[in-house]
Amino acid sequence: MADKKVIDTFSDYMNDETRVSPVERERINFEISLIGKMIEAREEKGLSQRELAEISGVKQPAIARLESMKSTPQIDTLFKVLHPLGYTIEIVPLQRR
Amino acid sequence: MADKKVIDTFSDYMNDETRVSPVERERINFEISLIGKMIEAREEKGLSQRELAEISGVKQPAIARLESMKSTPQIDTLFKVLHPLGYTIEIVPLQRR
DNA sequence: ACGATCGATAACAAATATGTTATCATATTA
DNA sequence: TAATATGATAACATATTTGTTATCGATCGT
């Protein structure tokens, strides 16, 4: 029988439709983009999670869960956290990617 | 004493920072854009809420609550509903508006 | 060594979204 | 008229996020 592939890259995993549906892929890519921009912007502004919590109204444990992908946030939480970091969210057609 | 303004337009309301914070404004604008695109795309594809529910995996009452702004969705719900309608979500800098 | 701050996380309560099931009034159409 | 499909919504159960409080190990600077 054919060898079972045991280890592959993250890209291979993400592009395997038998394991990651297109919708999941969209969401995961979004979350990766989110986390990257969040952490980068927060640190570039010299803010700790506790300081961002104070400014945004979202508590530090929730921010930590966000940044470590431990939750699927609600959009109001996203707006609260992203706004003081200079970001917002937009709806765009799929083909623009 | 000065007259109290009782009735004003939606624009006036949205631009009054004593009543709507910048963050709330961002979220409300997003929701309005979301609902518009959702309903338009769904009807343009000739889908009922029940059919979209079947395709997306999000149940019809949840879709109805979304379209009538009765909930603050989680982002995975948004992706599930938007993907079959040809949309996705992106994080963009605030100044791009 | 000490104190302060950091992000991560545990445990539990509270809030909210979503699922489930059913029904309603309305519109459409045979 | 009768049958059907629609979106909205009620009521309740379930799932998940977020808040709350506290603590942990790690890191940095004194």
Q: Say what the pLDDT of residue A31 is.
A: 95
> What's the whole-number mean pLDDT along residues A61-78?
97
Which band of pLDDT confidence, cut at 50, 70 and 90, is reported for residue B3?
Answer: low
The CA–C1' separation of A46 and C19, in angstroms, is 42
Asked if residue B49 keeps its beta carbon closer than 7 A to nucleic acid strand D, the reply is: yes
The residue among B80, B89, B24, B26 whose CA lies nearest residue B57 is: B80
> A92 and B96 in contact (C-beta within 8 Å)?
no
Burial of B26 (0-12, 13-18, 19+ CB in 10 A): buried
Least confident piece of the model among A60-74, A82-96, B4-18:
B4-18
Contact flag A76-B79 (C-beta cutoff 8 Å):
no
B29 vs chain A: nearest CA distance in angstroms? 10
Tell whether the model's pLDDT for residue B87 goes beyond 80. yes
Q: What is the largest CA-CA distance in chain B?
A: 59
Helices (runs of H) and strands (runs of E) counted in chain A: 5, 1
CA–CA separation, B47 and B54 (whole Å): 10
Sign of the CA dihedral A73, A50, A39, A76?
A: positive
Q: Are B79 and A23 in contact (CB under 8 A)?
A: yes
The token duo for A44 is 């570039």
For B55, name the nearest residue in chain A, comparing CA atoms only: A23
pLDDT of B4 higher than 70: no
* Calpha distance B53→A53 (Å, rounded): 36
pLDDT at A24 over 90: yes
Q: Residue A11: pLDDT band by 50, 70, 90 thresholds? A: confident
The lowest-confidence range among A88-97, B37-46, B65-74 is: A88-97
**Which whole number is the average pLDDT over B49-78?**
97
pLDDT bracket for residue A78 (50, 70, 90): very high
Q: Is the CB of A85 under 7 A from strand D?
A: no
pLDDT at A5 over 60: no
pLDDT score of B9: 73
Question: Residue B4: how many CA atoms within 13 Å on its side-chain side?
Answer: 1
